[in-house]
Amino acid sequence: MQLDRILQSQGFGSRKHCRGMIRHGQVAIADKVCDDPFVELNPEGLNFSVDGEPWQYREHAYIMLHKPQGHECSRTPKHHPSIFSLLPDPLVGREVQPVGRLDEDTTGLLLLTDDGQFIHALISPKRKVPKVYAVTTKHPVDDDQLAALRRGVQLHDEPVPIAAAACERIDDHLIHLTLIEGKYHQVKRMVAAAGNRVEALRRIAIGGLSLPDDLEPGEWRWLEASDLEKLWGKSEG
């Protein structure tokens, strides 16, 4: 694949813009500046740098973001900054999309990708991929509330009660709630229907993939093959 096409595929702009970057010496291959936009390269696993920033060719972008509070999962936010303001321009340029949305005041693990089939598979109720939330409540959580969440609570405009796949009390005001479907404000509505109120909400896991302890709010990182295996609940090795 020609170098200008490689850069275009990775979100660095139009082919014309990428050719200009290359001719101006902004692109290096194996630490050597390459000023030929039409040089043919094998993109698979290709490492390159743009303006000194290292990149690796990836057919699809799969990333995790530790979503901070006060950010909207939208390219056209209305009241708060967009999560896309936290990402480098090439990722925004290749039009990664969030895999399901988190409310502006909800924090935690958010996946983004430019792979539409991947998004569909993860959010499809048929796949039953669990999402785990750490829920801080206003009032102490009692046994009746836990039982109601496990048994199922009736939500407005839903034909049947909705039950958590799992619900564990961590302390008086903290539970871990596992869902396998995603409805509008589902956690907040379920906790309210059980007789309590959500004070803070953080998604801590999707499938077998947990939010890393060393990923600070606002930071992102690539999902590697081992992460994708965990995501689908496959054991390593």
Phi-psi domain of 54 (left: phi exceeds 0; alpha: psi -120 through 50; beta: other): beta
Look at residue 202 in the predicted model and tell me its pLDDT.
96
CATH architecture classification, 3-56: Roll (3.10)
Give per-residue pLDDT as tens, 179-228.
988 777 889 999 999 999 999 999 999 999 999 999 999 999 999 988 98
Look at residue 234 in the predicted model and tell me its pLDDT.
52
Q: Which of 126, 173, 166 is nearest to 149 (CA)?
A: 166
Residue with tokens 């999309």: 97
Tokens of residue 89, six digits:
């321009």
Domain ranges for the chain: 3-56, 62-125+214-231, 131-206
Domains 62-125+214-231 and 131-206 share a fold: yes
In sequence order, which residues have a C-beta less than 8 Å from that of residue 139 and are 6 or more positions away?
Answer: 173, 196, 197
Residues classed as catalytic: 103
User: Mean pLDDT, 10 residues at a time, over the chain (237 residues)?
Assistant: 95 95 94 93 93 94 96 86 95 92 92 93 84 96 95 88 94 95 86 95 94 95 91 57
CA–CA–CA angle 207, 211, 213 (5° rounding): 145
Amino acid at 124: S
Look at residue 236 in the predicted model and tell me its pLDDT.
40
DSSP assignment letter at 139: S
Look at residue 51 in the predicted model and tell me its pLDDT.
94
CATH architecture classification, 62-125+214-231: 2-Layer Sandwich (3.30)
CATH number of this structure's domain 131-206, picked from the four choices 3.40.50.300, 1.10.3370.10, 3.90.79.10, 3.30.70.1560 = 3.30.70.1560
Nearest-angstrom CA–CA distance, 137 and 122: 28
